[in-house]
Amino acid sequence: MRKTNSTNTINSQNLNESCGTANALSLIGGRWKLTIIWRLANGKMRYGALRDSIPLISERMLVQQLRELERDGLVTRIVYPQVPPRVEYEVTENSLELIPIIQSLSEWGEKQLVNL
């Protein structure tokens, strides 16, 4: 956690407000966010199914990333009032625009693997 009035925080906020690329990367940056969005691209998923579809992610990290994606309006959390509780996640209309970009990044990344 950074202080809200630190120079680093202020510079980051100013950059995100003035540069679309920086803002986009602040929303989707991180090791797992694009993977989560990609997994949810085909429709709603229950938490357990989403967790099982990304075997290397820890529960703590999945919860944290889902909360950030929800806060930023890229994922919707749906809670069904039943016992036991049922929770599903789905991408928002806003993040559906990312799907072709993620596909392009994936293809580019696979080409780079050949060059290693």
pLDDT of residue 68: 95
The answer to whether residues 40 and 6 belong to one domain is no
Residue range of the domain that includes 42 = 31-114
**Which residues make Cβ contacts (< 8 Å) with residue 76, sequence separation at least 6?**
70, 89, 90, 91, 92
In order along its 116 residues, the chain shows pLDDT tens digits of: 667 777 777 767 776 677 888 888 888 888 999 999 999 999 999 999 999 999 999 999 999 999 999 999 999 999 999 888 899 999 999 999 999 999 999 999 999 888 77
Claim to verify: residue 1 and residue 45 sit in the same structural domain: no
Provide the number of structural domains found in the chain. Answer: 2
40 with 96, same domain: the answer is: yes
Helix residue spans in the chain (DSSP H): 7-18, 20-28, 33-40, 47-53, 59-71, 93-96, 99-114
pLDDT at 21: 84
- Residue 61 makes CB contacts below 8 A (sequence gap 6+) with 31, 32
CATH code for the domain of 65: 1.10.10.10
